[in-house]
A = this chain, B = another copy of it.
Amino acid sequence: MSHDEPSLALVWETFTGYQRTAAVKAAIELDVFTHIGTGAATVDTLAAQCHAAPRGLRALLNHLVMDGFLTKDGERYGLSATAAALLDRNAPAYLGSAITFIASPAVMQGFMHLTDAVRRGGTAIPDEGALAPEHPMWVEFARAMTPLAGMTALLLGNLLEVEQAPGWKVLDVAAGHGMFGITLARLNASVHVTAVDWKNVLAVADEHARAAGVAERFRMLTGSAFDVPFGDGYDLVLLPNFLHHFDQPACERLLAKARAALKPTGRVVIVEFVPNDDRSGPPDAVRFGLVMLAGTPGGDAYTFAEYQTMLRNAGFGPPTLHDLPPSPARVVIAQR
C-alpha cells in the first residue's frame, strides 16, 4: 500500500468494508457459489435454486462481480478462481463456513463497540466477552472454522513430521473443533489424543474424531483448560489459537500447567497469529491484535519476544518460531 498519494478510493473502500463482508456472507448463506459451481447461471435460474427474489439476487451478484468472487458474461454469472477454489461447498478446500464465525454477531458485537474498547483498553462487551463458560459462540466457532483449521493442521503435521512420530501422546488444549489433534492422529495411527474444552464444544470434536476414524484414540476432558486436571506424560501439548484470549500472567499460568503435563522430552506447540516484535507486520497478525482488543478483557496477538518471556517464566527452554505457508498462522515450539 503506497502512502505517497491521498486516496479517496482507500477511504471509501474502508468506510464501506463492512458491506463487502455482508455481501459474501449473504452469498454463502444462500449457497450462491455452490449453485453457480454446478454451471454458469442467470439471475432467474439462481433465484429459484437459492429461494431468493431475482431483484435481490441481481444486486448481490453484481456486487460480487465487483468484489472478485464472480464473473459475468452477458446474463450469465460464473465463479472466479477464488470462489471456485474456496467458496463452493463442493470444493475440497471450501472454507466459506468460516464467515459464520468471523462475521458472527458475537464477534461483530465487539467491533460495534470498538471505540469504547480502545478507551478502556479491553472489550466493551459485558460478561468478559466470549470467555464465559460454555459460551455458545465456541460451538459456532468449532463448526465454522473446521475447514480452515483442517488445512492449518495438515501443515502443522508436516512441520512436526508426525508421520515419523513414535506413538506420541498428545494433549489438545481448548481443542474446539478438535482438528489439530485429530489430524495428527489421522496422519499417524500410533498417536493418541486427549482433547480439552467445554462439554458443548467437545460434542463437535467428538463428531469429527468419529468421522476421521480415530475415535478409539481420542479421549475428552471437559471443563476450563485452567481448571481441569490434564494428567501427565504427554509428548506434545497443543495450544492452537488459545493463548491470544488471555493476558500474560494467565498465559504463564496455563503454560506452567502445560509444562507439568509433559514428559521430560515433551514440547509445547503454540499455533497463533504472531506479529513481528515491533508489530510492523505481517498485516493479518498485526490486525488480529485489534480483534482481541475488541473481544477479550486482556488478550492480544503476542510477539515472539513476548512468547519467549512467557515460556521462560513458565520454566520452558528457549522456543523456536516457524511459518506455515500458505497459512498466516505461525508456530512457537518449546521443550520442557
Contacts and interface: CB of A to CB of B under 8 A. Distances in A.
Interface in A19-75: 19-26, 29-30, 50-60, 62-63, 65-69, 71-72
A286 interface: yes
B114 A22 contact: yes
A82 interface: yes
Nearest to A86: B11
Interface residues of A, number: 87
A63 B103 CA distance: 18
A80 B20 contact: no
Contact of A14 (B15, B20, B62, B71): B20
Given A6-B86, A120-B56, A286-B62, A115 B25 contact: yes
Contacts of A114: 22-23, 25-26, 60
A18 B15 contact: no
A1 interface: yes
A16 B21 contact: yes
A119 B283 contact: no
Interface string A98-114: 11001101001001101
Nearest to A96: B11
Given A25-B115, A82-B6, A292-B59, A54 B121 contact: yes
A19 B119 contact: no
A18 B290 contact: no
B12 A284 contact: yes
A289 interface: yes
B121 A12 contact: no
A51 B108 CA distance: 24
Contacts of A8: 86, 326
A80 B119 contact: no
A117 interface: yes
B30 A81 contact: no
A310 interface: no
A95 interface: yes
A18 B81 contact: no
A328 interface: yes
Contacts of A326: 8
A238 interface: no
B30 A118 contact: yes
B111 A22 contact: yes
Q: Which 9 A-B pairs have the closest CB atoms?
A: A53-B121, A17-B17, A6-B85, A18-B18, A56-B118, A55-B121, A22-B111, A3-B80, A1-B68
6 contacts: A3-B82, A6-B93, A8-B86, A8-B326, A10-B68, A30-B119
